[in-house]
Amino acid sequence: MKAIPYLDAAVYRGLPFRSDLVILEVPYFFFRPVRNAPYLLSWRLHQNYLLNGKARMRPREYWGKLARIIGKRQKQFPTDSQLRRLLQEYSVERVIIHWDMLRSYQRGYFDNQRIWEKIRHLKSYGRVEAADEKTVLIAVQEFLPVDTIIRTYSDFHLRRHPLLVVLKAPVPLPVSVRLNGRDVPPPRASGRQLLVDLRHEKLKKTGNRVEIRFTGPQAVVAVKLWPEKAVLPF
């Protein structure tokens, strides 16, 4: 199977290259992993993590959980509630909708205007970052103040990367962190930034839930994995 032609994939050029983003491409072809192969092949254009695109079957529990969030045919996708769960349970930071593939996947269920109406109603967890006649790129993040930031990572990520949090205002102390329901040492703070380093904590293979709790709602600028071999910011 050929990758999506570079000239037909301008959306990928809008993504940071190798920036440890987690990306979900829509449609997600449940139980037909080969249909996700173009996403995996086009990974060369951005080299970030793909939630789909693996050319193999998923464990049933994994499939069932994701299906409950976005729906088997993604007919009601996207909503703020769905994007919040993708952000918190999978650390998804970008969603890409491919109109032609979605039309082919949904067949009689496809309704471009209905989907755009849902996208326009996104306020709290999704914003359109780029759009053309082929694709829509949605940034997924907390776009409202929150008193708890929640992300979920594998041990592969947390063994290699501290977590950097950037707020719009100086960090209000104290800040507490919980990992898989238990308290861990508080993060380092400097100005508007927090560094949560869990590299030496006890981790599960997958599904490590990180909760960063503030004393009141905070506006979030970014939450990202710090590059593995880069000097820590403070």
Give 24-37 pLDDT, tens digit per residue.
999 998 878 788 88
pLDDT of residue 56: 62
Phi, psi of 11 (to 5 degrees): -60, -35
pLDDT score of 212 more than 70: yes
Q: What is the mean pLDDT of residues 97-101?
A: 93
Buried-exposed string 46-71: b where 16+ CB fall within 10 A, e elsewhere: bebbbbbbeeeebeeeeeeebbebbe
Q: Domain spanning 146-225 has what CATH number?
A: 2.60.120
Cα angle for residues 229, 195, 147 (degrees, 5° grid): 145
Helix axes 99-106, 112-120, angle to 10 degrees: 120
pLDDT tens, position by position, 112-137: 999 999 999 999 999 999 998 899 99
- For the chain, the structural domain boundaries read 6-140, 146-225
Question: Which helix (DSSP H) or strand (DSSP E) does residue 106 occupy?
Answer: helix 99-106
Q: What is the mean pLDDT of residues 1-18?
A: 75
